[in-house]
Amino acid sequence: DAGVIQSPRHEVTEMGQEVTLRCKPISGHDYLFWYRQTMMRGLELLIYFNNNVPIDDSGMPEDRFSAKMPNASFSTLKIQPSEPRDSAVYFCASGLSGSKGETQYFGPGTRLLVL
């Protein structure tokens, strides 16, 4: 079975540009999470969805960040405009409610560099 798929795997952009990160969760999973990982702050939960509905976006750093989940198999995280401090690895994870531990399964991540 395919795991969580993220694209692109690497992104280099200039300050001020719009960045869109994409995620395809594991088929059948009803939860989707977006995380950001930096050396300084570790892993931070940005937002999560249940059945395509955003449940908690309190981790989204500011209005420049937005996330959508138009259907059960696709989600985007958008940064507009991007800033150098947004440079990080962004992970998408999915999970199935009622499963053992309700474990989250992570995608390979998108490494973002904003110049």
Partner 1 sequence: AQKITQTQPGMFVQEKEAVTLDCTYDTSDQSYGLFWYKQPSSGEMIFLIYQGSYDEQNATEGRYSLNFQKARKSANLVISASQLGDSAMYFCAMREGNNYGQNFVFGPGTRLSVLP
Residue 53 binds partner 1 (CB under 8 A):
no
Are 67 and 98 contacting, i.e. CB atoms less than 8 angstroms apart?
no
Q: How far is the CB of 35 from partner 1 (least distance, A)?
A: 9
**Complex with partner 1: residue 8 or 16, whichever CB lies closer:** 8
Three-state SS at 100: helix
- Residue pair 107/92 in contact by the 8 Å Cβ criterion: yes
Give the interface segment with partner 1, choosing from 14-22, 65-73, 78-86, 94-102 (CB under 8 A): 94-102
User: Under the criterion CB under 8 A, does residue 45 sit at the interface with partner 1?
Assistant: yes
Give buried/exposed letters for 59-76 (b at 16+ CB in 10 A, else e): ebeeeebebebeebbebe
Task: Pick the piece of the chain touching partner 1 (CB under 8 A) from 16-24, 42-50, 61-69, 71-79.
Answer: 42-50
Question: Which tokens in the block code for residue 7?
Answer: 């694209």
Binding residues for partner 1, rule: CB under 8 A, are: 31, 33, 42-43, 45, 48, 50, 55-56, 89, 91, 93, 95, 97, 100-109, 111
